[in-house]
Chains A and B, each alone.
Chain A
Amino acid sequence: MANPLPQTVTVPDTALISAWQRGDERAAAELVERHARPLARFLAGAGAPETDVDDLVQETFVRAFRSVDRFRGQCQFRTWLLTIGGNVLKDFGRRAARRKVVPLEEGVRDRTGDPHDHAEARETEDLLAAGLQKLPRLQREVFLLRAQQGLEYDEIARALGTTPGAARVHYHHAVRRLKEIVK
């Protein structure tokens, strides 16, 4: 009988994915626990209203697990998950627009409404969040993957189906525009 792995050894994501595909629900829960917060940061940074972040994180994981057969390890699981989160957020924005509920950009503007009521850090963060909403989606996602999540251009390019050079150009365009806003 094989000895169980020591607690300190971290099981790789790919092993957890395989375990989930074999029906191990605990593996799915472990993946959620590992990646939920970075995903929430990404979604909030990309414009998700704070009140909806929980639901969007959940929807992203469900969508990811249901299509996990399409994950070929071309990038890290987390990076792949973040790109799915971007799609989930886009769909959320469409649904909100159809229901005439608070649109994504208004949600962001609400947070920037009265800067005097917030700390300076929050004010600047809100300014950045509002600035990100003005960027094209690809520029926004490349910026967040690079600056917020700390990913390399190669990894970003593999996740978004582009080249590292193009990812670098998108990033620099985003930075140039955001610096104009956050000055």
Chain B
Amino acid sequence: MMRNEEGDARLESLARQLGARAAEQVDVDRVARQVVEQLRTQPEPRATWIQPAWLRIAAMVVVLVGTGVVVGRLTTGQRPVVSQHAAHYVADDLNDLSADELRDVLTSFDEIISTDSAVVPDSSSDLRGLDAQQLREVLRAVQGEVS
């Protein structure tokens, strides 16, 4: 282990020699010529990251699109999306069904009622006594689409 002062001096002496060989090998004139040539002929490379101006534009586009979506929903949709979807089912799809098809749907609906007693009250079994038109109206009433 080196003693402190002696060790420091030796280390600094070594450090002064460090890289001396590499420095001697540098062709200074050639480096100077190449540096000047490179500065003269090669334009400064553009930064590879996105310019701040483009970032600002992209942020504005996102804000505008987002605002448009929110405003659109607020102005055109008075009901939640789920309700609109259900209403579409009742208003459009049920109207297109024939009496037999409607009967099949109602049979399925009956099965759901009978297996989900926790949700549908017992009185709902009265639905079985209704005809197709009445059931259609009941379904529309459930969806808030009574005509």
Q: List A residues at the B interface (Cβ < 8 Å).
A: 25, 28-29, 32-33, 36-38, 40-45, 48, 50, 53-54, 57-58, 61-62, 65-66, 121, 124-125, 128-129, 132, 143-144, 147-148, 150, 175, 178-179, 182-183
Cβ–Cβ contact A144 & B28, under 8 A: no
Count the B residues whose beta carbon is within 8 Å of the partner chain — how many?
A: 34
Cβ–Cβ contact A58 & B19, under 8 A: no
Smallest CB-CB separation from A124: which chain B residue? B14
Q: List B residues at the A interface (Cβ < 8 Å).
A: 1-2, 7-8, 10-12, 14-36, 38-40, 44
Question: Least Cβ distance of A174 to chain B in Å?
Answer: 9
Residue with the highest number of chain A CB atoms closer than 10 Å, among B21, B29, B40? B21
Known: A53-B23, A125-B14; 8 extra A-B contacts, CB below 8 A, are: A28-B32, A29-B36, A36-B26, A37-B23, A40-B23, A43-B19, A44-B23, A179-B2
What are 30 A-to-B residue pairs whose CB atoms are below 8 Å? A25-B39, A28-B36, A32-B31, A32-B35, A36-B26, A36-B28, A36-B31, A36-B32, A37-B26, A40-B19, A40-B22, A40-B26, A41-B19, A41-B23, A44-B22, A45-B15, A45-B19, A58-B35, A62-B38, A121-B17, A125-B17, A125-B18, A128-B11, A128-B14, A129-B18, A147-B15, A147-B16, A178-B11, A179-B1, A179-B2
Cβ–Cβ contact A61 & B35, under 8 A: yes
Complex interface: chain A residues within 8 A of B20 (CB): 41
Complex interface: chain A residues within 8 A of B17 (CB): 121, 125
Complex interface: chain B residues within 8 A of A128 (CB): 11, 14-15, 18
Complex interface: chain B residues within 8 A of A37 (CB): 23-24, 26, 28
Complex interface: chain A residues within 8 A of B32 (CB): 28-29, 32-33, 36
Question: Least Cβ distance of B12 to chain A in Å?
Answer: 5
Complex interface: chain A residues within 8 A of B39 (CB): 25, 28, 62, 65-66
Complex interface: chain B residues within 8 A of A125 (CB): 14, 17-18
